[in-house]
Structure 1
Amino acid sequence: MDLKEHYKKLYNESIDMISSDKYEIDHLIDLKSDQRFGITLLIRPPDIIKDNIQKLLNELKRVEPNQYYYPGSDIHITVMSIISCYEGFHIKTIELPKYIELIQGCLPAHQNLKIRFKGLTASSSCIMLQGFMSNDLLNEIRNKLRSAFKNAPLEQSLDKRYPIQTAHSTIVRFRKHFEQKDSFLKIIDQYSNHDFGSFEVKKLEFVSNDWYQRKERVKKLYEFEI
């Protein structure tokens, strides 16, 4: 996959949809009774990167304060959604040590992985950071996880939504109709190629989480070093 072209195509198509009011609003994001939970393997960027992202989000908040903006604590890259969130899932129903052991067996020892957040992409329902990987290690890990879970008698839903191949990070979700859409999109355009910084991945977090990875509903289950 040509990641740059993939992001560009997604950006152009999605910005056109947003411009023509064909965007999607997430009607569940403020629902207190939302009980969709799952387990995820993810990467968290360091604070300096999060601070750079918040500068953009603060600008967007000034023109569209009613959209959903990810706080620094919730920003992440999904390595793999092991069990996609659904209502009724509970961490007590799975054999956690077996998941940890299987994941550990899919991870390399002491291999370098760098990720750069440069520019923005979008979908009809959100704004995302473009993440670029320094090598193919992240997708190698994903392929090993796919193979291992396929042959394991453990609950999983890998690639149920879509086969993940990128290192994007969602930072804005649409929860209300736009009031200052042109101003919002102007800022997005200004940051469409902005360099938010790069970082070396030292560890992966294995968490139980809600749909939005909100800090107050996330529990760290294990931390893997790579």
Structure 2
Amino acid sequence: MNNLTEHYNQLYKTSAETISAGKYSIDLELKNESDSRFGITLLIRPNEEIKANIQHFIKELKKVEPEQYFYPDSDIHVTVMSIISCSTAFTLDQISPKEYIEIICRSLVDVEKIKIHYKGVTASPSALMIQGFPSDETLNNLRNKLRENFKKSGLQQSMDSRYSIFTAHSTIMRFQEQLQNPKKLIETAEKFRDYDFGEFEVKNLELVYNDWYQRKETTRVLGDFGLR
């Protein structure tokens, strides 16, 4: 947990400085209609109460930077594991979803409760995120089980190819235009830096075929896994 706090703090500090100095990055793919980067992700969605709290924050951000890209409720998620990273080379017909579902079911056998506490805000040079803190090691143990089982299976996967996932954040805003007032944006984020968005118990996990931004209209749910 402390490592995670440290990681989020460091990320926020460097990114807030970068953004305030006007050295942020714009995600040029957001408006690209022919963006065909797709992949497969196992994810968690927060409950309604938390989404409402997040929208309260988004409302404040929209006052400062209305032209940016904000995640609607339907797209807010925590990535458990990016099983096949989004790329233009991947299409759903390359795999049999059933085989992936079987491995996930096997990995979930001993999983007890997963709880995530959303508290505070962090940033990257091109986005703002809500900080998520799992209440114990259950989520990381599940990730390790998935890594192990998928590697053994020989199925197509690209887990941890970009970085080894250990956070539980949710991206809620991306920069798609030049920022009107970078300093004001960071001031607004600062107000929510330690805001308590709430805690929820994960009721189910979804396996989805998704685009880079997890947009609902392009997402296909391949499997839904209830937790006891």
Is TM more than 0.5 here?
A: yes
2:139 maps to amino acid: L
1:164 correspondence with 2:165: yes
1:205-216 equivalences in 2 (<5 Å): 205-216=206-217
- Structure 1 match to 2:147: 146
- Structure 2 match to 1:176: 177
Equivalent pairs counted in the alignment come to: 226
1:19-38 equivalences in 2 (<5 Å): 19-38=20-39
Match of 1:176, SS state, is coil
CA contact (8 A) 2:22 2:182 kept: no
Cα RMSD after superposing both structures: 1.1
Q: What is the percent sequence identity of the aligned residues?
A: 51
User: Cα–Cα, structure 1 residues 110 and 102, in superposed 2: closer, same or farther, change >3 Å?
Assistant: closer
- Structure 2 match to 1:191: 192
- TM-score normalised to structure 1 length: 0.97
Uncovered stretches (5+) of structure 1, i.e. residues with no partner: none
Uncovered stretches (5+) of structure 2, i.e. residues with no partner: none
- Structure 1 match to 2:219: 218
Match of 1:175, SS state, is coil
- TM-score normalised to structure 2 length: 0.96
Aligned equivalents of 1:55, 1:134: Cα separation in 2: 24
Match of 1:73, SS state, is helix
Aligned equivalents of 2:168, 2:50: Cα separation in 1: 15
| C-alpha displacement of 1:109 | 4.4
Summarize deviations over 1:165-217 as a string: whole Å, max 9, x none. 01111111111111122221111000000000110011100000000000001
1:1-226 equivalences in 2 (<5 Å): 2-109=3-110, 111-226=112-227
Match of 2:7, SS state, is helix
